[in-house]
Amino acid sequence: MAAPKPITRLISHVILDLDGTLLNTDCVVSQVLKPFLVKNGKKWDSMKAHKLVGKTPYEAAAVVLEDYALPYSTEEFLSMITPMFNEQWCNLKAFPGANRLIKHLRSNGVPAALASNSPKSNIDAKISCHQGWKESFSAIVGGDEIEKGKPSPDIFLEAAKRMNTDPPNCLVIEDSLPGVAAGKAAGMHVIAVPSVPKKTAEFSSADEVVNSLLDVKPEKWGLPPFNDWIEDTLPIEPWFIGGPVIKGFGRGSKVLGIPTANLPAENFSDVLSEHTSGVYFGWARLSTRGIYKMVMSIGWNPYFDNTEKTIEPWLLHEFGEDFYGEELHLVIVGYIRAEANFPSLQSLIERIHEDARIAEKALDLPVYARYKDSPYLRTSLKEDNSANGKQSELDSK
């Protein structure tokens, strides 16, 4: 890894976007729009969802009306769908790392603001469902409180003003292109956390592009570092997945010399959309063989530029044979890094071996070792038809 650039900026204030940055809004958008479109004889196209990211409700509504050739005015359409959205605000999940970041800023006395294109009343409704959030922001600016929404800089300038600071002191964290443009136009530093996968190239105007909030390194900006990393790993709220081992791309062993026992990702689309791509580790159980240490990547394998998000667990044990079709249960307990591209296959392989060494060692630490006894690793998939281990999560507490 390249040596970190010397700190040339000293950030004192952070401004966070809400939808798509702290809160996973995408699922709600499709949950509301899909049935509405079906009722109107149209079919929801998830590929078009990214066009709505970062827009004000009015702009987003206009895009939907045009894309699906719906026979309503923007006002009519908004009056029909707004109540449906309002019912959903409390169901929005925080992205991994969102709570951690908000708490970190607060406990270190770094003033933070929220700046969202959503109307202020929606922001209030959304954050009221997340404990400790409202109190953590020294300013909250809604799209209805300024003249022009993002990409205009107004909203960020207003947030800085309300925090009594100047734009160059502010670090903006944003998932959308209009948001990044707004932050730069305001003369601020911007970290992009793209919510649309594989689109990092489009974010070149941002000062830094990170894969998820877990990858934000405040010390790069002169802010207090996170101190929850333990020996190159970050403990996470554990999650549980399991299923029969299926055929993958057929290149793990052949091309990399690293076999990965793939799970059917379509069975866990909900769990996967909640968790960001990256390299994780934990414990694995093969129903007829036992429990093993495991290191895995989840995502699009940038080096191979896959079109599907896959789950690639490498069990840290020599088996000497295949075990396709066997039941594999995983409990994922820690995070190592974002998935990355590499200049050569050799450097990818070396990095994966490094991940394995990190996981191997970390799993002996009590914080991670205790999950070896998770009931989920003992239950049979047949008993747990949900196959996403939701109920087992409670058991392991």
User: Residue 339 binds which entry of ligand RBF, Mg ion, ligand ADP, none, with Cβ cut-offs from 5 to 8 Å by kind?
Assistant: ligand RBF
Nearer to ligand RBF, 185 or 256 (CB): 256
Q: In angstroms, what is the minimal distance from the CB of 260 to Mg ion?
A: 3
Nearer to ligand ADP, 235 or 248 (CB): 248
Residue number of the CB atom closest to Mg ion: 248
Cis bond upstream, residue 178 (ω within 30) = no
* Long-range pairs of 382-390 with CB within 8 A, sequence gap ≥ 24: 384/242, 387/241, 387/242, 387/243, 387/267, 387/268, 388/240, 388/241, 388/267, 388/268, 388/270, 388/271, 389/239, 389/240, 389/241, 389/242, 389/329, 389/331, 390/240
The one-character DSSP state at 337 is E
Q: In angstroms, what is the minimal distance from the CB of 289 to ligand ADP?
A: 11
Binding site for ligand RBF (CB under 6 A): 248-249, 251-252, 256, 258, 260, 279, 295-297, 301-304, 312, 314, 339-340, 348, 352, 355
User: What DSSP letter does each residue of 201-235 carry, written as one string?
Assistant: GGGTTSSEE-SSGGG--GGGGTSPPP---BTTBEE
Return d(Cα 230, Cα 256) in angstroms, integer: 28
Question: Which of 56, 262, 277, 301 lies at the binding interface for Mg ion (CB under 5 A)?
Answer: 262
Stretch that binds Mg ion, among 83-91, 240-248, 272-280, 361-369 (CB under 5 A): 240-248
User: Residue 397 binds which entry of ligand ADP, ligand RBF, Mg ion, none, with Cβ cut-offs from 5 to 8 Å by kind?
Assistant: none
Catalytic annotation on 312? yes
User: What DSSP letter does each residue of 14-44 carry, written as one string?
Assistant: EEE--BTTTEE-HHHHHHHHHHHHHHTT---
Catalytic annotation on 144? no
Catalytic residue among 174, 312, 355, 384: 312
Q: In angstroms, what is the minimal distance from the CB of 217 to ligand RBF?
A: 18
Q: Does 233 help bind Mg ion (rule: CB under 5 A)?
A: no
Residue 263, amino acid: L
Return d(Cα 183, Cα 353) in angstroms, integer: 39
Q: In angstroms, what is the minimal distance from the CB of 256 to ligand ADP?
A: 8
Active-site positions read 17, 19, 312
Q: Which residues bind Mg ion (CB under 5 A)?
A: 248, 252, 260, 262
